Chain A
């Protein structure tokens, strides 16, 4: 098991373009989380999945953002019509249990998005 994998590691895009990030969680982890981290801040929760079901979305997740986890394994996060304010590190995490209790999240190395 190689841990949580995110692709790409870096993405530079022009304002207005669409981008998609992928996250491969640790095998058989039920829960998958997306966070956004801007410079000088801690990660902020965006959304999470339990298996293929998206159970919670933060108000940070505007209509331009959409996330999927179609087969309960990998997940994608798409940002449409990117804006400069979307520039951030996007972190994915997974945890091994169906419940959030008594469990820890394992993070990937993140995707650094720069919108120019």
Chain B
């Protein structure tokens, strides 16, 4: 069965410091992968997605993620964190062979706190 693991429940970084949020997936074929961000009490906003091709994908708000098949990982990075980035971040994979089903399987999320 497909699954997503986000090993870090909570991360605190200083404003201006770099950020890396980890995501590992379990899936036999090429996965379709996403990162979403959720502010308190809000829905989810898509940061970036990977379907195929270039393994380094750029997203909104200065985020990027790198797909590494050998490590079954899709880590999210940002070179310089802003206080407004404080939120919860979710990694997700599309269920179903070839993404045919379309629904997402989410990790448990990583809460990001930003120190001034």
Residues on A lying within 8 angstroms of B by beta carbon are: 4, 6, 31, 33, 35, 40-45, 48, 56, 91, 93, 95, 99-110, 112
Chain B interfacial positions (CB closer than 8 Å to A): 4, 32, 34, 36, 41-46, 49, 51, 90, 92, 94-96, 98-109
The 5 closest A-B pairs by CB, nearest first: A100-B102, A42-B106, A107-B43, A109-B43, A107-B44
A48 touches B43 (CB 8 A): no
Given A42-B92, A101-B102: 4 more A-B contacts, CB < 8 Å: A42-B4, A45-B103, A45-B104, A102-B32
Q: Smallest Cβ distance from A17 to chain B, in angstroms?
A: 23
Which of A4, A35, A100, A112 sits near B100, CB closer than 8 Å?
A100
**Given A43-B90, A91-B44, A107-B45, do A101 and B98 touch, yes or no (CB 8 Å)?**
yes
